[in-house]
Protein backbone atom coordinates (compact mmCIF):
# COMPACT_ATOMS: atom_id res chain seq x y z
CA UNK A 1 0.00 0.00 0.00
CA UNK A 2 1.32 3.41 -0.94
CA UNK A 3 0.60 6.39 1.26
CA UNK A 4 0.34 9.82 -0.38
CA UNK A 5 3.55 11.78 -0.10
CA UNK A 6 5.60 8.84 1.17
CA UNK A 7 8.65 7.86 -0.84
CA UNK A 8 8.43 4.19 -1.81
CA UNK A 9 11.45 2.53 -3.41
CA UNK A 10 10.66 1.22 -6.91
CA UNK A 11 7.08 2.50 -6.91
CA UNK A 12 6.05 4.08 -10.23
CA UNK A 13 4.56 7.08 -8.43
CA UNK A 14 7.47 7.64 -6.10
CA UNK A 15 7.58 11.10 -4.57
CA UNK A 16 10.60 12.54 -2.87
CA UNK A 17 10.01 14.63 0.17
CA UNK A 18 12.87 16.73 1.41
CA UNK A 19 12.90 18.68 4.62
CA UNK A 20 15.24 21.53 5.35
CA UNK A 21 17.91 20.79 7.91
CA UNK A 22 19.14 23.57 10.18
CA UNK A 23 22.24 23.06 12.34
CA UNK A 24 22.55 25.22 15.45
CA UNK A 25 25.98 25.87 16.97
CA UNK A 26 26.68 27.03 20.51
CA UNK A 27 30.29 27.88 19.76
CA UNK A 28 31.78 25.53 22.37
CA UNK A 29 35.28 24.27 21.69
CA UNK A 30 34.10 20.66 21.42
CA UNK A 31 31.75 21.09 18.44
CA UNK A 32 34.41 21.36 15.69
CA UNK A 33 36.61 18.74 17.34
CA UNK A 34 33.87 16.13 17.63
CA UNK A 35 31.95 17.26 14.55
CA UNK A 36 28.48 17.89 15.97
CA UNK A 37 25.88 20.63 16.34
CA UNK A 38 24.32 21.85 19.57
CA UNK A 39 20.95 21.22 17.95
CA UNK A 40 19.53 20.06 14.64
CA UNK A 41 16.10 20.99 13.34
CA UNK A 42 14.41 19.01 10.59
CA UNK A 43 10.80 19.90 9.90
CA UNK A 44 9.01 20.49 13.19
CA UNK A 45 11.46 18.41 15.24
CA UNK A 46 14.52 19.63 17.11
CA UNK A 47 17.16 17.40 18.67
CA UNK A 48 19.46 19.03 21.21
CA UNK A 49 22.81 17.32 21.80
CA UNK A 50 24.16 16.52 25.21
CA UNK A 51 24.43 19.95 26.82
CA UNK A 52 26.37 20.97 29.91
CA UNK A 53 26.68 23.97 32.23
CA UNK A 54 29.04 26.05 30.11
CA UNK A 55 28.81 29.81 30.37
CA UNK A 56 29.16 32.30 27.54
CA UNK A 57 32.95 32.28 27.85
CA UNK A 58 33.15 28.47 27.81
CA UNK A 59 33.73 28.20 31.58
CA UNK A 60 31.82 25.67 33.69
CA UNK A 61 29.08 27.37 35.73
CA UNK A 62 28.33 26.07 39.24
CA UNK A 63 31.41 23.95 39.84
CA UNK A 64 30.60 21.42 42.56
CA UNK A 65 26.86 22.27 42.58
CA UNK A 66 24.58 19.86 40.69
CA UNK A 67 21.55 22.14 41.07
CA UNK A 68 23.28 25.21 39.59
CA UNK A 69 24.79 23.14 36.79
CA UNK A 70 21.37 21.74 35.91
CA UNK A 71 19.86 25.23 35.87
CA UNK A 72 22.62 26.49 33.53
CA UNK A 73 22.37 23.40 31.34
CA UNK A 74 18.62 23.92 30.90
CA UNK A 75 19.25 27.61 30.08
CA UNK A 76 21.69 26.49 27.39
CA UNK A 77 19.12 24.04 26.01
CA UNK A 78 16.53 26.84 25.97
CA UNK A 79 18.92 29.06 24.03
CA UNK A 80 19.55 26.32 21.45
CA UNK A 81 15.82 25.66 21.08
CA UNK A 82 15.12 29.37 20.55
CA UNK A 83 17.79 29.51 17.83
CA UNK A 84 15.97 26.61 16.15
CA UNK A 85 12.57 28.32 16.39
CA UNK A 86 11.35 26.26 19.35
CA UNK A 87 11.08 26.72 23.10
CA UNK A 88 11.25 24.68 26.27
CA UNK A 89 7.46 24.20 26.08
CA UNK A 90 8.03 22.13 22.93
CA UNK A 91 10.27 19.60 24.71
CA UNK A 92 8.85 16.06 24.67
CA UNK A 93 11.84 14.15 26.05
CA UNK A 94 14.96 14.79 28.11
CA UNK A 95 17.81 12.46 29.02
CA UNK A 96 19.92 13.35 32.03
CA UNK A 97 23.39 11.94 32.60
CA UNK A 98 24.77 12.58 36.08
CA UNK A 99 28.18 11.71 37.47
CA UNK A 100 26.73 11.07 40.93
CA UNK A 101 23.23 9.63 41.21
CA UNK A 102 23.16 10.82 44.84
CA UNK A 103 22.65 14.31 43.33
CA UNK A 104 19.32 13.20 41.83
CA UNK A 105 17.20 15.42 44.12
CA UNK A 106 19.18 18.57 43.23
CA UNK A 107 18.98 17.72 39.54
CA UNK A 108 15.29 16.81 39.81
CA UNK A 109 14.53 20.11 41.57
CA UNK A 110 16.02 22.17 38.73
CA UNK A 111 14.43 19.97 36.05
CA UNK A 112 11.08 20.21 37.83
CA UNK A 113 11.29 24.01 38.06
CA UNK A 114 11.70 24.16 34.29
CA UNK A 115 9.39 21.35 33.19
CA UNK A 116 6.77 21.11 36.00
CA UNK A 117 3.89 22.01 33.67
CA UNK A 118 5.39 20.59 30.47
CA UNK A 119 6.19 17.11 31.82
CA UNK A 120 8.36 15.63 29.05
CA UNK A 121 9.29 11.96 29.11
CA UNK A 122 12.66 11.69 30.82
CA UNK A 123 15.35 9.49 32.24
CA UNK A 124 18.27 10.02 34.59
CA UNK A 125 21.28 7.72 34.60
CA UNK A 126 24.62 7.78 36.32
CA UNK A 127 27.73 7.81 34.14
CA UNK A 128 31.32 7.37 35.26
CA UNK A 129 32.39 10.83 34.03
CA UNK A 130 31.85 13.54 31.45
CA UNK A 131 34.27 15.28 29.10
CA UNK A 132 35.42 17.72 31.82
CA UNK A 133 35.84 16.51 35.40
CA UNK A 134 34.05 19.63 36.72
CA UNK A 135 30.89 18.72 34.79
CA UNK A 136 28.30 16.98 36.97
CA UNK A 137 25.44 16.73 34.47
CA UNK A 138 24.75 16.55 30.76
CA UNK A 139 21.23 16.74 29.30
CA UNK A 140 19.83 15.90 25.87
CA UNK A 141 16.43 17.18 24.74
CA UNK A 142 14.02 16.43 21.92
CA UNK A 143 11.34 18.93 20.94
CA UNK A 144 8.37 18.85 18.58
CA UNK A 145 7.11 22.23 17.47
CA UNK A 146 3.34 22.45 17.37
CA UNK A 147 2.59 23.87 13.92
What's the average model confidence in pLDDT over 31-42? 93
Q: Which long-range contacts (CB under 8 A, 24 or more apart) does 118-121 make?
A: 118/88, 118/89, 118/91, 120/91, 120/92, 120/93, 120/94, 121/92, 121/93, 121/94
Is the Cβ–Cβ distance between 51 and 76 less than 8 Å? yes
The whole-model pTM stands at: 0.85
What's the average model confidence in pLDDT over 17-37? 85
What is the chain's mean pLDDT, rounded?
A: 90
Residue 3 has pLDDT above 50, yes or no: no
Span 66-110, pLDDT tens digits: 999 999 999 999 999 999 999 999 999 999 999 999 999 999 999
- In the chain, the largest separation of any two C-alpha atoms, in whole Å, equals 61
Is the Cβ–Cβ distance between 73 and 107 less than 8 Å? no
Helix, strand, or coil (residue 141): strand
Amino acid sequence: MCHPGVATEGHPYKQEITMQRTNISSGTKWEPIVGYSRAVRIGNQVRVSGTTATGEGGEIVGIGDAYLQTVQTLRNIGTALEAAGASLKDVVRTRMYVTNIDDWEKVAKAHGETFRDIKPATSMVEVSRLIDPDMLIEIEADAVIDD
